[in-house]
């Protein structure tokens, strides 16, 4: 198939592009490189440096005529959304609407969207959270992701555009950034490799559901060949604290580091964990990587990447 991946130069998007190319699809990448890296893009894919909010997106759709569209382009920082909710909404809501309009206009057969499980559910009394649970996004980032899901549902009902919204838990793995917008795993590994203390916001007892990037890519690939329409959690169903993740990474790296606790960040969830039972039942997907296996593969990549930069 001809597949367009918005955000295909990013952490998750570039892994997805690699898999789609390997599967034999013709892949088009659209990315403004605000977070993604050009060197992440598979050379077999066509690349357009463009923003999903821009009018240029229509020219790309008109030329390429994609059959399926993956939208992974987004503001990825919860903290930035709190500081600048308008910018977050421009990217995550107006950008999404532009993608949807082009899908409708140029007759795409399906759109698959990268949503956020933790951000749309926020703190809930029942864990692991299920898709049938009420959503209550706490941050502007969570609100924008939930809004995008509602637009997907609207375009399906009005225009018949099939969709899947995959609510991802906390994704980690090779190529993840280790800067301020990086995930806990990548930030911790980077600091430990640099022999720097690991900073933990709050007491470190906040929990997350950590899922390896290759399992996420498998979920996207599975969704490509499904007739189902709707929202699915993509997660492990395992709740781990930040302190536990630090201990696992530190042990993997021969207990070389130490942690320093800093004040908690505003808007930070206390607990997050998602059930993937619906995805297993209806999509036939389930995670394959244990946290130990995923951390080992991620550490190997970070270590190799560090050596290559020297």
Catalytic residue numbers, as ranges: 141
User: What is the rounded distance in angstroms from the CA atom of residue 139 to the CA atom of residue 78?
Assistant: 7
User: What is the rounded distance in angstroms from the CA atom of residue 162 to the CA atom of residue 173?
Assistant: 29
User: What is the rounded distance in angstroms from the CA atom of residue 35 to the CA atom of residue 12?
Assistant: 11
Q: What pairs with residue 33 in β-bridges?
A: none
Query: Around 148, how many Cα atoms within 13 Å sit in the side-chain half-sphere?
Result: 38
Going by C-alpha positions, the residue among 47, 51, 17 that lies closest to residue 35 is: 51
3-state secondary structure (DSSP) of residue 205? coil
DSSP 8-state secondary structure symbol assigned to residue 3: E
Place of tokens 């099939």: 162
**Residue 46 · residue 61 · CB < 8 Å:** no
Q: What pairs with residue 208 in β-bridges?
A: 240
**CA separation, residue 38 to residues 10, 29, 223 (Å):** 9, 10, 26
User: What is the rounded distance in angstroms from the CA atom of residue 270 to the CA atom of residue 26?
Assistant: 42
């Amino acid at each position: 198939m001809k597949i367009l991946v918005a955000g295909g130069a990013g952490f998750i998007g570039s892994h997805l592009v690699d898999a789609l190319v390997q599967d034999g699809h013709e892949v088009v990448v659209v990315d403004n490189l605000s977070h993604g890296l050009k060197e992440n893009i598979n050379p077999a894919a066509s690349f357009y440096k463009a923003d999903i909010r821009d009018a240029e997106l229509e020219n790309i759709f008109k030329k390429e005529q994609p059959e399926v569209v993956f939208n992974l382009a987004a503001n990825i920082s919860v903290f930035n959304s709190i500081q600048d909710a308008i910018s977050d909404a421009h990217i995550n809501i107006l950008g999404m609407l532009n993608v949807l309009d082009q899908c409708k206009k140029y007759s795409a057969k399906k759109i698959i969207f990268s949503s956020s499980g933790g951000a749309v559910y926020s703190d809930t009394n029942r864990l692991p959270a299920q898709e049938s649970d009420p959503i209550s996004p706490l941050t502007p980032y969570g609100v924008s992701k939930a809004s995008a899901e509602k637009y997907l549902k609207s375009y399906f009902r009005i225009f018949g555009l099939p969709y899947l919204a995959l609510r991802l838990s906390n994704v980690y793995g090779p190529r993840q950034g280790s800067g301020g917008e990086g995930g806990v795993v990548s930030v911790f590994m980077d600091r430990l490799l640099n022999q720097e203390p690991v900073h933990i916001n709050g007491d470190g007892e906040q929990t997350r559901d950590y899922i390896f990037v290759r399992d996420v890519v498998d979920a996207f690939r599975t969704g490509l060949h499904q007739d189902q329409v709707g929202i699915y959690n993509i997660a492990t169903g395992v709740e781990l604290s930040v302190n536990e993740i630090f201990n696992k990474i530190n042990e993997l790296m021969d207990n070389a580091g130490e942690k320093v606790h800093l004040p908690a960040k505003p808007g930070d969830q206390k607990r997050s964990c998602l059930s993937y039972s619906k995805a297993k039942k209806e999509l036939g997907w389930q995670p394959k990587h244990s946290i130990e296996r995923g951390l080992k593969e991620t550490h190997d990549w970070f270590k190799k990447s560090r050596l290559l930069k020297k």
